[in-house]
Amino acid sequence: MTPNPTRAGRREWTALTVLMLPLLLVSMDVSVLYFAIPEISADLDPSGTQQLWIFDIYGFVLAGLLMTMGAVGDRFGRRRLLLLGAAAFGAASLLAAYAHTAETLIAARAILGIGGATLMPSTMALVRTMFTDPSQRAKAIGLWSGVMTAGIALGSVLSGVLVEHFWWGSVFLVNLPAMALLLVLGPLLLPESRNPSPGRFDLLSVPLSMAAVLPVVYGLKELPSEGWNVRYIVSITVGLLFAALFVHRQRTAASPMIPPALFRGHGFTPALVLNTLSAFGMMGSAYFTTQYLQSVLGKSALEAALWSLLPSVLIGVAAPVAAQLVQRGVERAYVVTAGFGTAAAGYGLLALSGTDSLWLVLAACGVLAAGIVVVMSQLTDLALSSAPVERAGSASSLLETGTEFGGAMGMAALGSIGTALYRHGMPSDAPEPARETLGGALAVAAELPGRAGDALALAAREAFTDGMRGASVAAALLLLGAAGLAALGLRHIRVRPQVDTENAGQADRLSPSGV
């Protein structure tokens, strides 16, 4: 007989609050430089290439190391890895805040990416091991998903507020109190957990995983702005070849980093695929809405960031409501399908927007975000419940890696559709820079006299909005297809509870008994 899972008490819920700190900061660091980069440019005088690396190195290192760090946590202890990552993240934040050269800031951002790669799968894996009761775990993962999604929006707002009142280094120093609190309270509140029989660590899988992830993410992120450049196509192709080698290594190694048995968990593979599609929808919209608020509606950067907080209100409601529905007997397949349908409706609203549709766009973003958070919270719970607990770190890292891939694909695919429609909608006699991007068109329009400049700016805003509408239709169709996949792929999935025998005597650890 499978024993009843131990219900979490005040200690575990307090520990969850502590875990939210690094998660919030790691997700915020994705967008925290949005408003700081002008002051950084004035102070450090980076070249164009260095400025791009200041922005991108964090996300690239984070994506490349997620699978490695998930496997490391399973072997050497998730709490230990979390605390080491917190120390590295804090030290790198201090280095970044007081960087005197662009090279130092790039190095600090790279170390932040390493720290972030340890923190994200560790927090999710610890949630899995602390909350063994399915209903409590669903609530905890709902909170986890909401905090991660909200952190991206909060990062840009916090950046604007801090830069307005302090110097640019303050956007990094804000990390220090939270990391210090984690280092103090973590050993007191968080349980240690690891795989009791991990086998040897497969060192060859580390470079293979990075060679698979980094070129693909790089190529996908650059496509929207640069178009179908041969360099980016080659980058994606090389990454996919290394991905094939990585998969072959996992199938043949005696002790693989990502064991193939993980995918035999009832529900894990559908959850991973559908979660990647949900990330496609989430990040694809961000490419347009930030430009729409600033370049179409003419909001300042800080105004745009503050307005973008409004849709986050629905995020805090969506995941708990979804968890309650599942606990009351509604099939998870129906909830996930409804989440995808809601997100598709959000894109449908976005497809109705014009060049002066602030409230419609905000409503669309809110509906879209609510649907995506419902999907991601439920799929995360399904994936982690399906995976053996001794592989919680690896399972978490795969979900996060899928999120990175999905987000990059969303920006690449929808950005490319929007760019193509923008160029098609611009007057054929418009200057070349104006035909490339909305930003280029507004810069050219500002130099033209009187009505000529106004006419070009109006045409560019209308063309951009047309591109956003077209991409929204494509995204809505994709999410409706994902809803169909969810309805078919999840309808017969039932996750059976696992026995808690890992490191016997501690209620926060479950056995490697499989599913």
- Give pTM, 2 decimals: 0.76
Give the pLDDT band of residue 32 (cuts 50, 70, 90).
low
| Token pair 């078919």: residue | 488
Residues of the chain with pLDDT > 90: what percent?
7
pLDDT digits (tens, 9 = 90+) for 183-235: 888 788 777 777 667 667 777 888 888 888 888 877 776 666 566 678 878 88
391 CB contacts (<8 Å, ≥6 apart)? 74, 195, 259, 262, 512
How far is the C-alpha of 278 from the C-alpha of 381, rounded, in Å?
Answer: 15
Q: In the chain, pLDDT over 70 holds for what percent of residues?
A: 85
Count H helices and E strands in the chain, helices first. 19, 0
- In the prediction, which pLDDT does 483 show? 92
Split at pLDDT 50, 70, 90, the class of 4 is low
pLDDT at 341: 93
What's the average model confidence in pLDDT over 379-400? Answer: 77
Spatial contact of 31 and 152, defined as CB atoms under 8 Å apart: yes
Decide if pLDDT at 120 tops 60: yes
Q: Tens of pLDDT along 400-435?
A: 788 877 877 787 788 778 888 888 888 887 787 777
Those residues whose C-beta lies under 8 Å from the C-beta of residue 206, and which sit 6 or more positions away, are: 68, 257
At residue 227, the pLDDT reads 60
Q: Chain-wide mean pLDDT for the chain? A: 78
For the 258-493 domain, the top CATH level (class) is mainly alpha
pLDDT in tens, 58-90: 777 887 788 788 778 777 888 888 888 888 888
pLDDT, one tens digit per residue, over 300-318 is: 767 777 787 777 777 767 7
Give Cα 205 distance to the centre of its chain: 23
Give residue 219's pLDDT: 78
With 0-12 CB in 10 A as exposed, 13-18 as middle and 19+ as buried, what is 288?
buried
What digits encode the pLDDT tens for the residues 153-189?
A: 676 677 667 777 777 788 888 888 888 888 888 788 7
Q: What is the pLDDT of residue 48?
A: 62
Do 2 and 497 contact (CB within 8 A), yes or no? yes
The DSSP-derived string for 290-316 is HHIIIIIS---HHHHHHHTTTTHHHHH
pLDDT value at position 198? 66
- pLDDT classification of 324: cutoffs 50, 70, 90: confident
Q: Is the separation of the CB atoms in 34 and 305 below 8 Å?
A: yes
Q: Residue 148 above 90 pLDDT?
A: no
pLDDT in the model for residue 29: 63
The confidence band for 504, taking pLDDT boundaries of 50, 70 and 90, is very low
Residue-level pLDDT at 337: 92
Mean pLDDT over 342-349 rounds to 93
Would you call 513 helix, strand, or coil by DSSP?
Answer: coil
Q: Which two three-digit tokens encode residue 79?
A: 């709490």
Domain ranges of the chain: 10-193, 201-257, 258-493
Residues 6 or more apart whose CB falls under 8 angstroms from that of 10 comprise: none
Predicted pLDDT at 265: 65
Q: What pLDDT score does 506 carry?
A: 40
C-alpha span between 373 and 71 (Å, rounded): 26
How many angstroms separate the first and last alpha carbons of the chain?
A: 14
Return the pLDDT at 38. Answer: 67
Q: Give the Cα separation of 261 and 425 in Å (integer).
A: 50
List the one residue out of 289, 113, 139, 125 whose CA is nearest residue 195. Answer: 125
pLDDT one-digit tens code per residue, 241-293: 988 888 888 788 777 777 777 777 677 888 888 988 888 887 777 778 877 88
Over residues 98-112, the mean pLDDT reads 88
Transcribe 93-128 into DSSP letters: HHHHHT--SHHHHHHHHHHHHHHHHHHHHHHHHHHH
Confidence of residue 493 (pLDDT cuts 50, 70, 90): low
Above 70 in pLDDT, residue 509?
no
One CATH from 1.20.1250.20, 1.10.3720.10, 3.40.50.150, 3.90.1150.10 for 10-193: 1.20.1250.20
Distance of CA 55 to CAs 36, 41, 49, 451, Å?
Answer: 11, 12, 10, 37
pLDDT surpasses 90 at 440: no
Q: Note whether 10-193 and 258-493 share their fold.
A: yes
Which range is most confident: 37-46, 278-287, 414-423, 498-507? 414-423
In this predicted structure, the answer to whether residue 459 has a pLDDT above a threshold of 80 is: yes
pLDDT at 340: 93
Phi, psi of 168 (to 5 degrees): -60, -30
Instruction: Report which of residues 394 and 97 the model is more confident about.
Output: 97
Distance CA 23, CA 32 (A): 14
